[in-house]
Amino acid sequence: MPRYIALIDGEAGAHGGVFPEAPGCTAMGVTLDEALRNAGEAIAEWVSDEEAAGRAAPVARPVEAIRADPEVAEAVAEGAVLTVVPLVVDSGRPARVNVSLDAGLLAAIDEAAAARGLTRSAFLGSAAREKIAAG
């Protein structure tokens, strides 16, 4: 799974992120955490749009190469932070899997999913996305 580097900056109430390798791809959030969560969605949407337009997604560069970029170095010097954002792009088609879970855990998953109005699959998918995004 490719991982892209985002530059996140801002102040209380307004945070934003950009991707040096993805021109025009931005993520916003009222809080830093919200901007970080939105960064995963932003890069996935940007890559999907690029592929729909017949362009290949850029190869994710190592963090050392990103840090060596003078514009990135300047942004970091001004307070921006670098963060790693995993790329998870939906294929648009479901896939069946067979997993084994403890019966008690499965009951807790079903209860939590029902409380949120989700199916078991939707709940597990969203939990997996959150875990992947958290690194």
Using one digit for the tens of pLDDT, what is the confidence trace for 101-135?
999 999 999 999 999 999 999 999 989 988 887 76
Q: Is pLDDT at 1 greater than 80 in this prediction?
A: no
Per the DSSP assignment, residues forming a β-bridge with 27 are 17
For 118-127, give one letter per residue: b (16+ CB within 10 A) or e: beeeebbeee
| Whether this model's pTM surpasses 0.85 | no
- Share the mean pLDDT of the chain: 90
Model confidence over 17-37: pLDDT tens digits? Answer: 999 999 999 999 998 888 988
CA angle 28, 29, 33 (to 5 degrees): 120
Quote the DSSP letter at residue 90. -
For 59, the token pair is: 């190869």
